[in-house]
Amino acid sequence: MNTTLRLASSAALIAASPYTLAVDSAATTDWPKYGGTYSNTSFSALKNINTTNVRKLAAAWHVNLDGGSTAADQQGAPVVVDGIMYVQSSGGNVTALDAKTGEVKWKATGLGESRGVAVGQGLVFVPTRSPQRVSALDQSTGALVWSKTAADLTAMGANTDIVNGTPQTFGGGGAPGPLVYYNGLLYVGTNGGDGAYRGRGFALNAADGSWKWTFWGTAAPGQPGGDTWEGTSWDRGGAAPWMHPAIDPETNTVYWTWGNASPNTNGSVRGGDNLYAGSLTALDATTGARKWHFQAHHHDIWDYDLSPGPILYDTTVNGQARKAVAVHGKTGWVYILDRLTGQPLIGIDETPVGQNAQNKTAATQPIPRGDPFTPQCPDDPKYPATKVPPGYDKSCTYVPYFDRPGVHPNGTGGGGDWGSAVYDPRTNRIIVPAGIVQSGFSQTLNFFRPLGQLRAGTITALDASTNKVVWQKQTEWSLAHNHLLGTAGDVLFVGQPDGYMVAMDSRNGNEMWRFQTGAGVHGAIISYSVDGEQYVAVLAGGNGLPYSSPRGDHLWAFRLNTFGKGVPPAPTPPPPSKRQPITAAAVAGSTVGNTVLLARTSATSAENAGSNAMFPQNLAVPVGTTVTFVNKADSTRSHCAIQFFEGAFSIGPLAPGQSATYTFTQPGEYFYNDGCDNFQPNTTGKVVVQ
């Protein structure tokens, strides 16, 4: 295992420090890019909306971007430049609107969906997943100026690497993701990281889309970090930069985060640390040359990624002024580094962790000093959502696995995912949205979320100089895929999967206002000013992770209500399940004799160990019904029905041919699984009593 490249820094940069120009830390009149500014702080210096008047906030206008469609999720982040809002929707539209009135100025169609546009040089830049391409539109009219397909980029070299003098072309996978414009260049990442392709970030000339440079997420042989991949595993190793980079104009540096290695849970075929998967890299903005890197988790087998856009800020640590870059992760930690050198500002300790030889686990993992913002182990009494259904192995962060499914508190949707954190320069706090979504891992099951498990979240404010918790609020919803907006009026905005946008006091997390948007609020929330009046806006449209939250195409803008009523809230949609759902259609108990067959997918099927192997998996009965649980005589082993988490019944082990009954006297939703005696805890069903 190579350890020397885990934290590599540039001697030239160290010699050049310190510098004096502060990174822009707050957006003002406009919101010209994702995160507000190049520093990605998601913080607005506007303070007309504050803790004393936020309850008067009302909807100024509302637009259905795709004609009211609920066909797909919405993840586009609006931007505002010179009073005009530009937003990309899942219906394939890019729309320009008057940011004050919501009046549509122009609409360009057929452009696909991604996580938002960038604006610069009189152009609106659009990434498209299907077909894979990057396009530029005239900012005033929406007319197409140029478009580059995946084939165009390959021909120019953006998808081609030269390894030991031989061209290596990797055209498959990696649709263009979120992009950022800076100083004549367009920085484009690739979406995903789970697929067997090679992630890359590249720069295009903004004027015509011609290729400038590419930085590959997996280091090839002969390149720095190339010896951290076993054999040829690097050539389909994943590591995609699928969120917006941050940029420091003073040092001409692009800070990019990179996703998980591929295959994401099978480390047995890719020994080594697997750079630059799970890393933060500092790259020269002009050439793409690596200045330094920091790998947040070595040889990732937990789908941890390092997905959020990094945050740049100036702070004081131990009495000294420092230039910082911070990024939060699925591990539940914030990683705080010197942005010139990549060295930890507060301390990050390489800590010995458990080992599994088959999965070729790393000997140590970097653990930040300070406090985590989500629990690190299951069954944490402080966090009810960490309860584990019966029969599963329980694993803390970085505990390895192979055959047995071990359940972890973070990863694949828990901890901090692509939702943006806030840096508040007035209080020197990083505020992080997160999820408690426990995931199971094994070689046979890949990764999964146990059916019936609880899901919740946290919002945590940490001191950016110490990485210590200042305050934390546990939330009823996972917020790992939801964004925050901070403002100088001490108002913190957050979207929820149930359609509500909520305003909180950023000093303590107390709720002050909420508004129903009609769809899950997962997109970035922005703030801007027109004619001296502050607005807050969001595109609400649902998301598939970790909930299938209600979809829509609702673009909302809010301002203080000083002259009568605003646009009324949308009807409240059915909220997603707060537990990992069983999606099988309900079967009336009377149609099956109020009987459940354990480890069967139908009345006539053979014994089965799959997660859906309870028949019926979703049984609906009235209060007072006695349900019989049966292990059929032709079974090869005993089975159970253990109800969780309330413990209403624990049936079994039932030997082949045995049965038992339970009478349901109270309404509710009763999840149960085959979780005794190390049988099949993933085999899960539920009884709904009405």
Strands 429-436 and 456-463: antiparallel
Strand order from edge to edge, sheet including 253-257: 7-8, 290-295, 279-284, 253-257, 246-248
Q: What is the pLDDT of residue 662?
A: 98
| pLDDT, mean of residues 562-585 | 91
Task: Give residue limits of the domains in the chain.
Answer: 7-560, 587-689
pLDDT digits (tens, 9 = 90+) for 21-41: 356 778 889 999 999 999 999
Q: What is the distance between the alpha carbons of residues 9 and 441, in angstroms, rounded to a whole number?
A: 34
DSSP calls for 109-131? -S----S--EEETTEEEEEETTT
DSSP result, 434-461: EEE--EEEETTTEEE--TT-B-EEEEEE
Amino acid code (one letter) for 524: A
Q: Are 662 and 594 in contact (CB under 8 A)?
A: no
The answer to whether 388 and 408 have CB atoms below 8 angstroms apart is no
pTM of the predicted protein model: 0.95
Closest CA to 418 of 304, 495, 308, 494: 308
Task: Report whether pLDDT(51) > 60.
Answer: yes
For residues 327-351, average pLDDT: 97
How far apart are alpha carbons 270 and 237 in whole angstroms?
8
If you average pLDDT over residues 232-236, what whole number do you get?
92
CB 675 within 8 A of CB 609: no
Q: Give, as one character, the DSSP assignment of residue 310.
A: P
- The number of helices, as runs of H, and strands, as runs of E, in the chain is 2, 51
Does a cis peptide bond (omega within 30 degrees of 0) precede residue 497? no
CB 300 within 8 A of CB 264: yes
Burial 50-77 (b: 16+ CB within 10 A, else e): bbebbeebbbbbbbebbeebbebbbbbb
- Residue 671's contacts (CB-CB under 8 Å, 6 or more residues apart) are 389, 451, 452, 579, 582, 643, 644, 684, 685, 686
Q: What is the pLDDT of residues 576-634, one digit of tens each?
A: 999 999 999 999 999 999 999 999 999 999 999 888 999 999 999 999 999 999 999 99
Integer Cα distance of 611 and 391 in angstroms:
13
Q: What angle do CA 53, 59, 60 make, to 5 degrees?
A: 100
Contact assessment for residue 643 and residue 672, using Cβ atoms and an 8 Å cutoff:
yes
Give percent above pLDDT 90 in the chain.
80
Q: pLDDT tens across 129-152, in order?
A: 877 899 999 999 999 999 999 889
Q: What is the pLDDT of residue 484?
A: 98
Q: Is the pLDDT of residue 14 over 70?
A: no
Look at residue 396 in the predicted model and tell me its pLDDT: 93
Mean pLDDT of 504-527: 98
Which run of H or of E encompasses 685? strand 680-689
Instruction: Mention every residue, 6+ apart, whose C-beta is less than 8 A from residue 341.
Output: 9, 10, 13, 14, 17, 292
Output the six-digit token pair for 672. Answer: 């149960």
By percentage, how much of the chain surpasses pLDDT 70? 94
The answer, yes or no, to whether residue 179 has pLDDT greater than 80, is: yes
What's the chain's average pLDDT?
92
Cα distances (angstroms) measured from residue 574 to each of 75, 475, 477, 553: 20, 19, 14, 16
User: How far is the C-alpha of 272 from the C-alpha of 229, rounded, in Å?
Assistant: 5
CATH class of the region 587-689: mainly beta
Of all residues in the chain, what percent are helix, strand and coil, respectively (each to 5)?
A: 5, 40, 55
User: In 191-328, which ranges are E strands?
Assistant: 200-205, 211-216, 246-248, 253-257, 279-284, 290-295, 311-317, 320-328
pLDDT of residue 432: 98
Determine the average pLDDT of the residues in 100-127.
93
Alpha carbon separation from 686 to 115, 323, 486, 585, 594 (Å, rounded): 36, 53, 41, 11, 13
Superfamily in which the 7-560 domain is placed by CATH: Quinoprotein alcohol dehydrogenase-like superfamily (2.140.10.10)
What is the pLDDT averaged over residues 6-25? Answer: 40
Structure confidence at residue 403 as a pLDDT band (50, 70, 90):
confident
Mean pLDDT of 317-341: 96
User: pLDDT digit string (tens) for 355-392?
Assistant: 999 999 999 999 999 999 999 999 999 999 999 999 88
What is the model's pLDDT at position 193? Answer: 60
pLDDT at position 16: 31
Q: What is the pLDDT of residue 167?
A: 74
pLDDT for res 129: 81
pLDDT band at 156 (very low <50, low <70, confident <90, very high): confident
